[in-house]
């Protein structure tokens, strides 16, 4: 095991001294949208049920990691709510000792009826993906007609006073007018809006030579045109976004340089994919098959030892993680498997 990993009581640090306290876990690779930047329209092979982690397996992983120092969980997908009994699962993990915050990333389509229960279990925040504020542009991007449901979720989450962030992936030729329209939501409502650089997963950019027309600098310049008073503010220590305030706005604006990778130095998170691969960096191709390990009958102590070793061998940043990938291929799996 790498000696630089410390495991004092409930405190976990990687081999570069970065505290690790945040686990993002994808509960399904299935989704009820077909966003062009995330997955192809047809021909997707979704995982059979026995190839994804069961809720019991996920709970076991969370419980062990909570004992090691993970305090914050984000549940993502695919679309988390397409998996049956998600609410029941969320309620169980909210009782795990050491877990202080549970967050959820959702596209908002099936979400409305669960919002009261989410409030009841004390959900710490919801990230809602919304790439356009125009019905037709929404349909074009997501290849589905569910704009109204997403708006319903937006308003209900606010009514229930659950902290809300909007995620918008910025795509040339598809949603540039929405940069300003979505920022306006943070003027009217107490929400944060985050713009995400499009990453070359297996949607539109799968050509071997990923290009990025809208990087974080250009997104900022576009915002500056509409909001000349926009100003950078200090980000929280592990923030993946550069954050901004605009005079008169109730919420903040953030830009996530997912393609440019400006945030690796303070990364405090690990991921588990729907099929149980542990990722210690978004850009690695999965450093360990947790599902098969769990299913081989190992003890909690063996799992803990293995996790400590893996967290103690993290890549320095996303570029190194990508170099370590088998065959040095760039990141091509769909975000629906990884969970964003």
- State how far the Cα of 107 lies from the Cα of 110, in Å rounded to an integer: 8
Q: Is 138 in the site for ligand SAM (CB under 6 A)?
A: no
* Closest distance of CB 279 from ligand SAM, Å: 13
Pick from 79, 178, 192, 284: which binds ligand SAM (CB under 6 A)?
79
Nearer to ligand SAM, 68 or 157 (CB): 157
Measured from each CB, the residue nearest to ligand SAM is: 340
- Select the span of 64-72, 194-202, 247-255, 298-306 touching ligand SAM (CB under 6 A): 194-202
Nearer to ligand SAM, 68 or 170 (CB): 170
Nearer to ligand SAM, 281 or 294 (CB): 281
Q: Is 166 in the site for ligand SAM (CB under 6 A)?
A: no
Q: Is 339 in the site for ligand SAM (CB under 6 A)?
A: yes
Q: Which tokens hold the place of 327?
A: 């065959």
- State how far the Cα of 303 lies from the Cα of 222, in Å rounded to an integer: 47
Pick from 154, 201, 244, 263: which binds ligand SAM (CB under 6 A)?
201
Q: Is 175 in the site for ligand SAM (CB under 6 A)?
A: no
Pick from 141, 150, 203, 216: which binds ligand SAM (CB under 6 A)?
203
- Select the span of 143-151, 196-204, 209-217, 304-312 touching ligand SAM (CB under 6 A): 196-204
Q: Is 272 in the site for ligand SAM (CB under 6 A)?
A: no
Q: Is 335 in the site for ligand SAM (CB under 6 A)?
A: yes
* Closest distance of CB 137 from ligand SAM, Å: 15
Q: Which residues would be at the binding site for ligand SAM (CB under 6 A)? A: 31, 37-38, 76-79, 105-107, 129, 167, 169, 196, 198-199, 201, 203, 258, 335-336, 339-340
């Amino acid at each position: 095991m790498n000696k630089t990993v410390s495991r004092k009581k409930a405190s976990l640090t990687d081999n570069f001294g970065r505290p690790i306290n945040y686990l993002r876990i994808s509960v399904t690779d299935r989704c009820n949208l077909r966003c062009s930047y995330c997955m192809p329209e047809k021909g997707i092979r979704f995982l059979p049920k026995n190839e994804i982690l069961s809720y019991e397996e996920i709970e076991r992983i969370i419980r062990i990691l909570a004992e090691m120092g993970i305090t914050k969980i984000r549940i993502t997908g695919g679309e988390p709510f397409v998996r049956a009994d998600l609410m029941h699962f969320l309620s169980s993990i909210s009782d795990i000792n050491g877990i202080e915050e549970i967050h959820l990333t959702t596209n908002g389509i099936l979400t409305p009826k669960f919002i009261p229960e989410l409030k009841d279990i004390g959900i710490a925040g919801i990230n809602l993906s919304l790439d356009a504020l125009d019905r037709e542009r929404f349909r074009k991007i997501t290849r589905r007609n569910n704009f109204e449901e997403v708006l319903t979720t937006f308003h209900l989450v606010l009514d229930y006073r659950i902290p809300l962030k909007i995620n918008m992936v910025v795509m040339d030729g598809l949603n540039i007018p929405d940069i300003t329209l979505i920022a306006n939501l943070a003027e009217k409502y107490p929400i944060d809006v985050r713009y995400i650089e499009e990453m070359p997963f297996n949607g539109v950019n799968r050509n071997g030579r990923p290009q990025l027309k809208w990087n974080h600098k250009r997104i900022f310049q576009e915002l500056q045109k509409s909001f000349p008073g926009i100003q950078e503010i200090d980000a929280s220590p592990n923030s993946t976004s550069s954050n901004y305030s605009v005079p008169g706005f109730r919420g903040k604006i953030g830009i996530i340089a997912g393609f440019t990778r400006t945030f690796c130095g303070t990364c405090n998170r690990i991921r588990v994919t729907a099929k149980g691969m542990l990722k210690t960096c978004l850009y690695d191709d999965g450093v360990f098959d947790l599902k098969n390990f769990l299913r081989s009958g190992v003890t909690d102590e063996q799992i803990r030892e293995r996790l400590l070793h893996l967290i103690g061998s993290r890549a320095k940043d996303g570029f190194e993680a990508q170099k370590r990938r088998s065959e040095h291929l760039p990141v091509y799996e769909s975000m629906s498997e990884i969970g964003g």
